[in-house]
Each structure stands twice: as structure tokens, then as C-alpha cells.
Amino acid sequence: MSTAAPPQFNPFDPSFTETPYELYAALRDDDPVQYSELLCGWVVTRHDDVVALLRDPTVSSSVHSATPTPVTEIELQRLAEQPRAGRTVVMMDDPDHARTRRLMATPFRASEIEALRGRVHERMHAALDVLAERGRTVGGPSTRGTAVPVDFDLVEDFAYPLPVEIFSEMLGVPAEDGPKFRHWTQCVARSVDPVLPDDERDECLAGLDEMCAYLADQAELKRAHPADDLMSHLVHAEIDGERLNDLDLMSQLVTLYMAGHEPTSVLIGNGTLALTRHPDQLESLRSDRSLMRNAIAELLRYDGPNQFTRRITTRPTTLSGVELPAGAVVYAGLASANRDPRFWGDDSEVVRIARPDASKHLQFGAGAHACLGSHLARLQAEVAFDAILDRLVGLEVVGEPVVATRMFLRGLTSLPVRATITPRP
């Protein structure tokens, strides 16, 4: 433990955007359960504390359980302003949580998701075909039929649009409407930050309203004409006579878009950058694809999208010797826990795709609210990294990567690369 005063957690500090990992290390060492005046809550950064919190059946995910603070008051006011999406499974406690999750679960089981592999594969390779064609066009007629190096943005042109398109297809949204969700999901994602500048609020709420109105129309259609898609499953799902009512359905649809899209694209973007920065690991994976599943777990552990999730205590709770009162807002540091040497050992700050316990990472959370879409996220990442390794020859980063950080989600929004895109294998 150092004698200097521990640093204060501040998600608005530019150094947090650049890299939060040094700050996390200092907090873990010197102030692992830190009260933040700014957030009116406790910031928890050690692995074992984060796991204990997520697995504690007495903690709540609902802001309504919190002792009111200026930050929770703002959030409650916002929830009141968006009643159409306010009952998300993410913020429910039992028994509502267990009931809603059961109604949603079947299409997200491993076997159902595995059946989508062919469609995901087709989408990903079609996107690379378009980029390869762009290279041929730029290269001119003399290069027709030959693969030439092409410059593109691996996030904007590949990792970002694909998860939302794939999810829209899984949901059963008409293909031509898929692109609308790009703007809408950006609005919703921004609106979940605990402290949102006022000027962005109206735009976020307007986007959310449009999205809900569109999804409500689609739900009506599927009620009348069920098809083999996720939306039809959700509107007709029934267990022990219980169904999702209209309000719950809409909230879960928005949640699925929001929860699924950005983190998956960040996994592909951040993961690719991490591999290019660790060429020995990239080559190991290229030559031994049986490592893929473990490599994805390791990339999530090393630099995954989710920095925090939030819980509210409902009784006095002790973490690393600090007693939190009932009603305390606690920010559980998933990304920090994933680098904690107390759990991962001395090499916690480097990528090791064969790390034996990589699958114990916390990027998918833990406990009752653990990620419902983890099989879908993994499938997309597997197909994406396979496609990148198979078809992007001489892949190199040729510009400055751009990282966007919100307190809860951090990831690349731009990764300029150059590669020769070979035809499909």
C-alpha cells in the first residue's frame, strides 16, 4: 500500500478515456471500495468484491431500492420520462426478473444460437466481399480479378454495423429497416449513463420514442402473422399462463438491442487491436483455431467493453472491510476485476490467449443477471475473428485508433487498417 492519497475515481477525466487500467490498479491497491462524491456511490474495483456483490442474492438491480441521491433522482426522473422502455429485465429484481428472463431465454440457448452460425457467417463474409470490391475499384481496371491492399475502418465498416444487422435479422425486422437501428441504438446506449449532459437528453429520448413506435408496429405484425424469428417467439412466449405484457415486451426489445450491439462490436474492435499489438498471440491463433473460444474469453478479460455494472445494497454489506449501509449505490468494476493480479496472477496486464482460466472473466457479469446473450456474442466473435484471420492478409493498423468512453462502456469507435482481402475460402 502506498502512502500517497489514493486517486479519486472520475469517469470524466480525459486520462480515464485514454486508459482506465492504471487508475483501476491504484484503486485496487489503495482504496478498493471508494466513496465517490461525484457519483454518490461506492466504486468497487477488486475481483473478489465484484464477484461477491454480483452473486449476493440480497442486492438489488433497481434504482428504486437506493437511498435517494442527486444522481438517483435524475435517473428516476428520466425513467419516468421514458415509460415505454422503463421495465428492462436488467433493472428488475425477483420475482419479476426470474419470470421475465424465463420468458426470454429459449432463443438465446447455446443450441438455438449455434443454428444461426450459417447466417452470421454469410453476413460477415458478405461485408468483407464489399470491402474487397472497394479495393478492386480503387485499384482500377489493371487490378480487376486480383486482390490488392485496401484501407478501411475495421470498426465503422465491419465490427459496428454487423451485430445490429445480425440481431435485426434474428428478430425478424425487414432488411431494409435494419439501418435505422444504428441511430436508435446509439441514442439508447447514451441514455444509460448515470450523468448525461442536458443537451443530449432530448435527442436520446426522441430516438428511443421512434424505436419503440417502430418495434410496437412490428410486434403487432408478428402477433397476427407469426414467423420463425425472435420477435414472434417473444410475443407468443407463455410459461404457466404468464406472458410478457406490451410494456414489458417493448422494454425487453429495446434492452436486447442495447445490451447486445455495442459490446459485441467493441469485442471485435478491441480484440483485433489487442491481437495486432501482440503479434505472437495473433500467430498462435492463426495457426491453432482450436484456441478461438479461449482467445475470445481472454480478449474480453483483457480489454472488454463493460467497465462497470451497478447494484444497490438492501442490507448493510461489507466489502474489503468497508461497511456499506442498506440502500447504497455500488458500481461494480468488471473491467478492473478482470485485471486484478490477486485473482489472475502477475501476468494479468498482458494477453495470453491460452490462459487456462480465461473463461472466468467477468465481462458477461455473474449471478442472476449474467448476460443472456453471451452465446450470441461469442458466436459472432468466433465467426468475425475466423474471417479476419482467413481473409485479411497483411493486416496492419494504419491510423490512430479512436476510443470512446462512457463510464459503463468503453471501446474503439474507429480502427483504420490496411489489408489485402482474399476471396472466401
Nearest C-alpha neighbor of 353 from the set 288, 407, 265: 288
Q: Is 373 in the site for ligand HEM (CB under 6 A)?
A: yes
Q: Is 304 in the site for ligand HEM (CB under 6 A)?
A: yes
**Rounded to the nearest whole angstrom, what is the least distance from the CB of residue 333 to ligand HEM in the complex?**
12
Binding mask 121-160 for ligand HEM (x = CB under 6 A): ----------------------------------------
Residue with smaller CB distance to ligand HEM, 135 or 163? 163
Q: Is 244 in the site for ligand HEM (CB under 6 A)?
A: no
Q: Is 333 in the site for ligand HEM (CB under 6 A)?
A: no
SS3 for 105-132, per residue?
HHHHCHHHHHCCHHHHHHHHHHHHHHHH
**Rounded to the nearest whole angstrom, what is the least distance from the CB of residue 96 to ligand HEM in the complex?**
11
| 268/382 Cα distance (integer angstroms) | 9
Q: Is 194 in the site for ligand HEM (CB under 6 A)?
A: no
Residue with smaller CB distance to ligand HEM, 206 or 370? 370
Q: How far is CA 399 from CA 137, 357, 402, in A?
A: 22, 33, 9
Q: Is 204 in the site for ligand HEM (CB under 6 A)?
A: no
| 93/369 Cα distance (integer angstroms) | 9
Q: Is 41 in the site for ligand HEM (CB under 6 A)?
A: no
Residue span binding ligand HEM (CB under 6 A) among the ranges 216-224, 263-271, 273-281, 417-425: 263-271
Among 23, 63, 173, 259, binds ligand HEM (CB under 6 A): 259
| Amino acid at site 18 | E
Residue 36, H or E segment: strand 33-36
Q: Is 107 in the site for ligand HEM (CB under 6 A)?
A: no
SS3 for 371-421, per residue?
CCCHHHHHHHHHHHHHHHHHHEEEEEECCCCEEEECCCEEEEEECEEEEEE
Q: Is 338 in the site for ligand HEM (CB under 6 A)?
A: no
Q: Is 171 in the site for ligand HEM (CB under 6 A)?
A: no
Residue span binding ligand HEM (CB under 6 A) among the ranges 38-46, 142-150, 358-366, 410-418: 358-366
| 326/398 Cα distance (integer angstroms) | 51
Residue with smaller CB distance to ligand HEM, 298 or 421? 298
Q: How far is CA 407 from CA 11, 83, 232, 331, in A?
A: 5, 24, 34, 10
Grid cell at residue 211: 424505436
| 135/143 Cα distance (integer angstroms) | 9
CA 239 to chain centre: 29
Residue span binding ligand HEM (CB under 6 A) among the ranges 187-195, 203-211, 373-381, 408-416: 373-381
| 63/331 Cα distance (integer angstroms) | 12
**Rounded to the nearest whole angstrom, what is the least distance from the CB of residue 267 to ligand HEM in the complex?**
4
Which residues within the stretch 77-96 sit at the binding site for ligand HEM (CB under 6 A)? 89-90
CA 76 to chain centre: 23
Residue span binding ligand HEM (CB under 6 A) among the ranges 17-25, 199-207, 258-266, 346-354: 258-266
* In the block, residue with C-alpha cell 448525461: 196
Residue span binding ligand HEM (CB under 6 A) among the ranges 19-27, 283-291, 298-306, 345-353: 298-306
| 329/74 Cα distance (integer angstroms) | 14
Q: Is 305 in the site for ligand HEM (CB under 6 A)?
A: yes
Whether residue 371 contacts residue 402, with contact meaning beta carbons closer than 8 Å, is answered with no
**Rounded to the nearest whole angstrom, what is the least distance from the CB of residue 408 to ligand HEM in the complex?**
9
Q: Is 309 in the site for ligand HEM (CB under 6 A)?
A: yes
Nearest C-alpha neighbor of 39 from the set 327, 306, 331: 331
Q: Is 411 in the site for ligand HEM (CB under 6 A)?
A: no
In the complex, residue closest to ligand HEM by CB = 373
The contact set with ligand HEM (CB under 6 A) reads 61, 89-90, 101, 167, 255-256, 259-260, 263-264, 267, 304-306, 309, 334, 363-365, 369, 371-373, 376-377
